[in-house]
Structure 1
Amino acid sequence: MKQVFVFVVVLALVGAVAAYGHRALDLPVRQVEIHQVVEVPEGASFKETAGLLAQKGLIVSPFWFRLLGKFQDAERKIKPGEYDLHTAMRPIEILNTLVSGRVIQYSVTVQEGLTARQIARVLGTTGIVKEADVARLVSEPAFIKSLGIEAKTLEGYLYPDTYYFPKRAKAEDVVRAMVSRLRQVYTPELQARSAALKMTEVQVLTLASIIEKETGQDAERPLISAVFHNRLRKGVPLQSDPTVIYGIPNFNGNLTRKDLARPTPFNTYTIPGLPPGPIASPGGKSILAALNPAPVKYIFFVSKNDGTHQFSVTLPEHNRAVDHYQKKGAKPGSRKAA
């Protein structure tokens, strides 16, 4: 009788353990989805991760979850990061999520016409990366070279778009993603067009960045492009105010005649041709416009003070437009004149 009793007790214990194991390994904590954000720190052990999951109420037993990890040979395969998990997930689903690294992705939109420094600030405010890390990379020769770019900085190469990155992403990965997006936009067809115009990649991006800063009107981009192409062909200075502004450290928002006369590498009032590099990150429409100027003879344009411009072929035409649109409170940068 005693042996039977012991057998029954052992059998009951085994059954209880098996039932608990089934509960801990095969079933979710709840049938209802209650989401929890779990951050697995860099270098966290599997034991520590199991403890975090238990604290969040996502698993029944850290011990059984560790056994699952050992059985799946996953103890050293989980990825650090921030995860969106919920209580209706089975332990194996949670484990697979951690192993695959399906972390939370945060969106960040980089607008057209921002400088590399401004883009670094935008990225920094999201908490995705540190502003200082991005600012350092865009001027780091070895990193720039690793991207296959022959330029002193990555100004103009950080393509404006909406991106998705995990929290605390590596700055190198973020910058590479933005340059990679530019490569996707700057297609072989556009490269062929660039070659036909005898323009290098950096020249295209430089012109596109100036177009981007000169107008926000899509219909005007090819016209602005035509003005600059015509000026380059005639050997006339571009006289683009945004290039002057770019060359002024800590610009205060007030462009003066003295600024227009101050010689800097980016002052297209005083230097011939294009500046030495882009002044911002151009969008796809400005890149297209730089490579496809409108078939017009315009040499000048002046702001109408409503976001659009008046274009002219001759200087007398241009002066009349300046007198009409800018005679009251004319700004130094309100015109393009030879």
Structure 2
Amino acid sequence: MSRKKKTVGMLIKIILVLLVGGLGFMSWWTWATKPYSSTGVSEKITISPGTTATQLAEELQQRHLIRSAWMFKYLARSLQANFKLYAGDYQLAPQMTPNEMISRLIKGATPMANNLVTIPEGYSTEQIIDLLVQKGIGSKAELEKVVEEDEFPYEFLKNAPPGIHRLEGFLFPSTYAIDTKTSPHAALNLFLQQFAKELTPEVQKNLDTMKLTVSQWVTLGSLVEKEAKMESDRPLIASVFMNRLKIKQPLQSCATIQFLLGTPKSKLYDKDLQIPSPYNTYLHPGLPPGPIANPGHASLQAALHPAQTDLLYFVAKSDGYHAFAKTYAEHLKNVKLYQ
């Protein structure tokens, strides 16, 4: 057989392989983009904050709601570049195509997804209650009763102080999809459940090394949350607080005074710093008795991994950043320069 005939024969084989492969891929594509089944009942899918499309796709495939996790991930990226999953409960059925599921998740086609509730980082319990009331999830009286009296099965709430701030610090900030039919207890429990996921074995190991309780960690995180405006300042502010704790120097956090006032002031006066309360970190050394707000992931991580510095002071600048100092003399210069 001539070399020319061999080459032609090889090309024919390659073309046949490509055709067969292409037809096979098209057949698989058609199969993978169809509903998993023509029958079946819808299932509740709970999406937690931070869930990725990959994690969701694998769960849907395991629960026999889609045929291919890979196809779901591909379609999610192609349908919307900034695909984001909102936390909450969704009803998805095996009769739905992957495209229909993704469209529902993106657009919030279900009643549950329509009622998106965003808890901003640093919100207090009172602010969260007001937000839930605005979203039609219970009344203020109902929510306050749940906060103060309801039992929740979490070890980190074991020694929580009584009253309206019992859950302070543990109502995790994120965006949730919450049906208006959801009870106040269930809504608040959703936030607590998400905080519980922050408390990983690795985090607990770090806390043991630092000799901090969960409450102390969250309290420190709440101080960082209320003081820091810029991401890069968080570990530095945490470092200042940790350094002061080590030498038993009062934290002197203005955020704790604002917490005591209830309604924040644009400027604090000397009389404000004299308010008699264990939360007043100008009068009392150490951490306050509990968190002063609900910190987000970044502030909790900063409290867990403070920068290694000798800093003891900081002052806010007009651009949102802080000026840091090691000595009081340096701090006074910063105060004169920036305030």
What per-residue deviation string (whole Å, max 9, x for no partner) do you get for residues 152-186 of structure 1?
20001100000011113111111111000001122
User: Retained in 2: the 8 A contact 1:138–1:155?
Assistant: no
Q: 1:293 to 1:251 in 2, by over 3 A?
A: closer
Give 5+ residue unaligned stretches, structure 2.
1-89, 97-109
- Deviation per residue, 1:216-253 (Å, 9 max, x gap): 21111000000000000010000000101112244555
The answer to whether the Cα contact below 8 Å between 2:172 and 2:296 also exists between their aligned partners in 1 is yes
Please say which structure displays the higher CA radius of gyration: 1
- What is the TM-score with the length of structure 1 in the denominator? 0.64
- Structure 2 SS opposite 1:124: helix
Q: Which runs of 4+ in 1 moved over 4 A?
A: 249-254
TM-score by length of 2: 0.63
Other-structure match for 1:231: 244
1:109-161, Cα deviation, whole Å (9 max, x unpaired): 00000000100111110113323322222222x525x4331202000110000
Q: Give 2:139's match in structure 1, choosing from 130, 138, 141.
A: 130
Q: Distance in 2 between matches of 1:224 and 1:251?
A: 20
Compared CA separation, residues 312 and 193, structure 1 to 2 (3 A): same
Q: Which residue is 2:271 aligned to?
A: 258
Equivalent-residue separation in structure 1 for 2:338 and 2:205 (angstroms): 40
Match of 1:220 in 2: 233
Map 1:144-183 to 2 at 5 A.
144=152, 146-148=153-155, 149-150=157-158, 151-152=160-161, 153-183=166-196
The answer to whether 1:290 aligns with 2:307 is no
Alignment partners' CA distance in 1, 2:296 and 2:174: 8
Q: Which residue of 1 aligns with 2:221?
A: 208
Supply the RMSD in Å over aligned alpha carbons. Answer: 2.0
Matched length: 226
1:120/1:132 contact within 8 Å kept: no
The answer to whether the 8 Å contact 2:219/2:287 transfers is: yes
Give the AA of the match of 2:301: L
- Summarize the Cα distance change of 1:127–1:230 in structure 2 as closer, same or farther, 3 Å threshold: same
131, 143, 155: which one aligns with 2:151: 143
Counterpart residue identity of residue 143, structure 1: E
Aligned mates of 2:175, 2:132 — CA distance in 1 = 11
